[in-house]
A = this chain, B = another copy of it.
């Protein structure tokens, strides 16, 4: 089969880790006899440098013509000043909204080999394997009013945490579908004791649960969830929550895996069903890490696992996806480690070398 993939290397370590992701994709192409037509486009600081826009029209157009989009990372300290008119991150937000990517999916799996890499005790972490589903195009990120103005008493600013029942329903369904394909436990996170939007969230979650009698739904307050994630991470199977809560909790959860360099993510424009193609954007959860860019030390495993997620969700190539995940596990078992996850007794390798090893294993 032939597939079109738009590739957005972005900023900082982006291009290096993307190169390794594409190396592994190429290995998959050869092994399984697929053709992946790659279109490289600009986003982030590199796009601002060349076009004054963090998301050039041309990039958005190309993404829309593709079966899937691969993104590495955006962000550059040169554009950090909040007073600047445009920021690299704006490109990311515009892409999420422009492509209707409402469902952000972040698996958090602690590999047995890396159970000592985190700041949490290994006995707490062992067996941690859950999926976060974060709403990505609603809530306080995009809702109006969103503004700063001047009153008689001085400056005032507001953001709106707004949700419609449709927005809630479709993302909660993503959670139920994923839970159904796993251990059949869904935790919905809200702040229903304080927020009206959370009460609606909880109502809708309960309504949707009628369609999934095989999945056990429970509700946890966002503050309690922030505790449970680091107290008893193994109790979770699938967690679904709104945009801002998801932003905070997924980054907290990322610490469980020891390094941001290990975690992939998918942002989908539809409800994934097994065997069905769902358009999506795929990116490692780490940032552009400018301080280590160009040094061949960045960990490309997150990007490589992101390629696997693309194969699974957007191209419905489950066998191919699993072959990458297997290869990563084998290379880790063999003791190869990039800097961020290095520990005594292992073999230190660079960005390119671990990419080569995983590609060879595929």
Taking beta carbons and an 8 Å cutoff, which residues of A are in contact with B? 82, 87, 89, 93, 119-121, 124, 140-141, 143, 146-148, 151, 153-166, 191-197, 199-200, 202-204, 222-224, 226-227, 229-231, 244-245, 247-252, 254-255
Neighbouring B residues of A200 by C-beta, 8 Å: 148, 155-157
Give the one of A166, A227, A250 with max B CB within 10 A.
A227
A197 to B160, CA, bound (A): 10
Chain B residue with Cβ nearest A164 = B156
Neighbouring B residues of A162 by C-beta, 8 Å: 156-159
A120 to B256, CA, bound (A): 10
Neighbouring B residues of A249 by C-beta, 8 Å: 226, 248
Neighbouring B residues of A161 by C-beta, 8 Å: 140, 158-161
Neighbouring B residues of A160 by C-beta, 8 Å: 158-161
| Sample (18) of A-B pairs whose CB atoms are under 8 Å apart | A82-B202, A89-B193, A120-B230, A140-B194, A148-B196, A151-B164, A155-B164, A155-B165, A155-B203, A157-B199, A159-B162, A159-B195, A160-B161, A191-B247, A222-B247, A223-B247, A230-B252, A230-B255
A158 to B199, CA, bound (A): 10
Minimum Cβ distance to chain B for residue A29 (Å): 35
Chain B residue with Cβ nearest A148 = B196
**B202-A226 in contact (CB<8A):** no
Minimum Cβ distance to chain B for residue A245 (Å): 8
Task: Out of B82, B87, B159, name the residue touching A197 (CB < 8 Å).
Answer: B159
Minimum Cβ distance to chain B for residue A43 (Å): 16
A193 to B76, CA, bound (A): 13
Task: Out of B82, B156, B194, name the residue touching A165 (CB < 8 Å).
Answer: B156
Known: A120-B119, A160-B161. A141 touches B230 (CB 8 A): no
A165 to B150, CA, bound (A): 10
Please classify the interface of chain A as helix (H, G, I), strand (E, B), loop, or mixed, using the class held by over half of its residues.
Answer: helix
Number of identical monomers bound together in the oligomeric complex: 2
Task: Out of B148, B165, B255, name the residue touching A231 (CB < 8 Å).
Answer: B255
**B227-A230 in contact (CB<8A):** no
Task: Out of B120, B166, B204, B254, name the residue touching A153 (CB < 8 Å).
Answer: B166
A187 to B124, CA, bound (A): 29
Minimum Cβ distance to chain B for residue A267 (Å): 16
Chain B residue with Cβ nearest A229 = B252
Neighbouring B residues of A203 by C-beta, 8 Å: 155
List 8 additional contacts besides A119-B231, A230-B255; criterion CB under 8 Å: A119-B121, A119-B124, A155-B200, A156-B164, A159-B162, A227-B255, A230-B252, A231-B255
Chain B residue with Cβ nearest A123 = B119
Known: A119-B230, A158-B162, A165-B155. A193 touches B87 (CB 8 A): yes
Neighbouring B residues of A140 by C-beta, 8 Å: 161, 194-195
Return the 7 tightest CB-CB contacts between A and B, nearest first: A157-B200, A226-B252, A223-B251, A158-B162, A157-B196, A119-B124, A157-B197
**A148-B199 in contact (CB<8A):** yes
Task: Out of B164, B244, B250, name the residue touching A191 (CB < 8 Å).
Answer: B244
